[in-house]
Amino acid sequence: MDAQPSTTETRPCAHCGAPVPQRVGAGRPFRYCRDNDGACQRASRNSRMRHRNAPGLPGQVARTWEAVDRLDQIVETLTESLHAELSPVGVQRQLAQVRAEAATEIAAAQTERDEARDDAEPAAADAARAREQARAALADADDACQRAD
């Protein structure tokens, strides 16, 4: 009964040659060691920076690798952002945020509606009283006209 072999794919570090475990899912492969706070990537970049102003092909290669490293960093940042936002947890978080905002807006609208109703009820009562007073005044005026005749 042998232990199952690891199914994690590895690639050699572009700087020191140590095996670098790769992600199982999609995405660019890791080119440098991931467990030393980017020391291999920095050392490789520093080496290329020293050679970047070299004349001819070595300088061009160093500048090209510098651009590749910058693009790798950008791709990694974008990949992490997309995984954070488009993962089930990220989508659930966004849904919860939108639902909370909607609930807040609904509560504010209901409060506004209730305040408008509270303001409208006395105004309607005042208008009804004013109509009744106007009818009474009209009736009094009609009575006064008939008595005057």
Q: For residues 41 and 60, give the distance between their C-alpha atoms in angstroms, rounded to a whole number.
A: 19
Mean pLDDT of 41-64: 82
Q: For residues 149 and 145, give the distance between their C-alpha atoms in angstroms, rounded to a whole number.
A: 6
Q: Report residue 9: phi and psi, to 5°.
A: -80, 145
Most confident of 8-17, 74-83, 122-131: 122-131
Name the pTM for this structure. 0.39
Reply yes or no on whether the pLDDT at 116 is more than 60: yes
Residue among 70, 94, 75 nearest 23 (CA): 75
By the 8 A CB rule, do 79 and 68 touch?
no
Reply yes or no on whether the pLDDT at 91 is more than 50: yes
Look at residue 26 in the predicted model and tell me its pLDDT: 61
| Residue type, position 125, single letter | A
By the 8 A CB rule, do 60 and 51 touch?
no
